[in-house]
């Protein structure tokens, strides 16, 4: 093409609305009737036809008091327009099918705490809104959740860590705090002033594994106090950590959500900690630049309206 400037197709071809108007004129034989069929005013229809004639450089419609008829060129353009509109209708049908496929399933990945103590209520509420959506849930630590969202194995993720990894957007959905808890027979259960952060750091604890949001927050909170001692036990689930503490193995550190019932029933005793910040935000995450849509959007909305 040499030095000729390329002009985008959208600047050379009439838009879909104009082509639909031309087809309507051909069907009803009247510009005013075509305007009514498409829900626009007659002046707007006339303006659209004139703009299309200017763009194409030919007259398309002969106007008279008896109605509007197509010119020879208009009849030819109408045949082409019909094919374009039919292709657009096929495109729209395909897009609707894709939306239907997207809306028929939701893949969720969530950290253990959120999966066990928050998601069930959200998913029950979502079921009421979208009874035909099949939901699959993968529970793992926050690092696993992040990986599944980044590789598009999950439509929406829920994590407990301190930061949002690169490549993800997020929204805070709740606030949480970590709790140190022991069985009633443990010496810390009788302390009225709790423990200092330095003592907590130096004590072997029952902990979640590295990569979990709980472990990440605890590591950061105690980094200035010598760091965590080697774990007494390192377990891969909230339930396992809690069971070990209930059995008297030693102190555990878990989400307040995970131990609230046991503390209320005095099966575990919460131990106050001074000198360390153990609060954290719980977040929903999704691929950067791809705002959740369909059932993922609805689930995200539900998380902000429920405890």
H or E stretch at 70:
strand 67-70
Per-residue model confidence (pLDDT) at position 306: 45
Alpha carbons 19 and 148: distance in angstroms, whole number: 45
Per-residue model confidence (pLDDT) at position 103: 60
Per-residue pLDDT tens over the stretch 14-38: 888 888 988 888 888 888 888 898 9
Per-residue model confidence (pLDDT) at position 1: 46
In contact, 265 and 258? CB cutoff 8 Å: no
Per-residue pLDDT of the chain (307 residues; tens, 9 = 90+): 455 677 787 778 888 888 898 888 888 888 888 889 899 998 998 899 898 888 888 998 888 777 778 888 988 988 898 888 888 877 877 666 566 555 678 999 999 999 999 999 999 999 999 898 889 999 999 999 999 999 999 999 999 988 888 999 999 999 999 999 999 999 999 998 999 999 999 999 999 998 899 999 999 999 999 999 999 999 989 999 999 999 999 999 999 999 999 999 999 999 999 999 999 999 999 999 988 988 999 999 999 754 4
Long-range CB contacts for residues 289-297, cutoff 8 Å, separation at least 24: 289/169, 290/169, 291/169, 292/155, 292/156, 293/102, 294/99, 294/102, 294/103, 294/106, 295/103, 295/105, 295/106, 295/126, 295/130, 295/133, 295/135, 295/155, 296/106, 296/155, 296/156
Q: Which of 121, 106, 114 is nearest to 156 (CA)?
A: 106
| Burial 280-299, CB ≥16 within 10 A → b, else e | bbbbbbbbeeeebebbbebb
Per-residue model confidence (pLDDT) at position 301: 93
Per-residue model confidence (pLDDT) at position 99: 65
Per-residue model confidence (pLDDT) at position 251: 97
H or E stretch at 284:
strand 279-287
Per-residue model confidence (pLDDT) at position 307: 42
Provide the pairing of β-strand 67-70 with 61-64: antiparallel
**Strands (E) located in 145-188:** 156-159, 168-182
What's the half-sphere exposure (Cβ side, CA atoms, 13 Å) at 82? 10
Per-residue model confidence (pLDDT) at position 9: 77
């Amino acid at each position: 093409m040499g030095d000729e400037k390329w002009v985008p197709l959208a600047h050379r071809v009439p838009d879909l609305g104009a082509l639909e108007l031309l087809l309507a004129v051909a069907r009803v034989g009247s510009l005013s009737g075509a305007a009514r069929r498409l829900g626009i005013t007659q002046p707007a229809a006339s303006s659209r036809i004139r703009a299309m004639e200017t763009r194409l450089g030919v007259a398309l419609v002969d106007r008279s008091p008896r109605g509007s008829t197509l010119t020879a060129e208009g009849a030819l353009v109408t045949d082409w327009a019909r094919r374009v509109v039919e292709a657009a209708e096929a495109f729209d049908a395909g897009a609707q099918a894709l939306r239907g496929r997207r809306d028929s399933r939701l893949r969720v990945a969530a950290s253990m705490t959120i999966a066990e103590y928050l998601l069930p209520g959200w998913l029950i509420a979502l079921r009421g809104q979208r009874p035909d959506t099949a939901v699959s849930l993968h529970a793992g630590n926050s690092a696993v959740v992040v990986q599944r969202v980044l590789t598009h194995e999950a439509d929406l993720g829920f994590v407990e860590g301190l930061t949002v990894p690169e490549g993800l957007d997020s929204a805070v959905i709740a606030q949480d705090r970590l709790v140190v808890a022991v069985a009633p027979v443990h010496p810390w259960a009788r302390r009225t002033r709790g423990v200092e952060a330095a003592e907590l750091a130096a004590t072997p604890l029952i902990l979640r594994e590295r990569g979990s949001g709980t472990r990440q927050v605890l590591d950061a909170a105690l980094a200035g106090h010598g760091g965590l001692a080697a774990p007494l036990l390192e377990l891969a689930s909230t339930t396992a950590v809690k069971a070990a503490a209930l059995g008297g193995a030693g102190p555990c550190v878990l989400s307040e959500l995970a131990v609230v019932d046991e503390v209320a029933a005095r099966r575990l005793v919460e131990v106050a900690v001074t000198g360390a910040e153990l609060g954290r935000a719980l977040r929903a995450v999704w691929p950067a630049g791809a705002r959740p849509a369909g059932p993922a959007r609805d689930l995200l909305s539900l998380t902000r309206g429920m405890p």
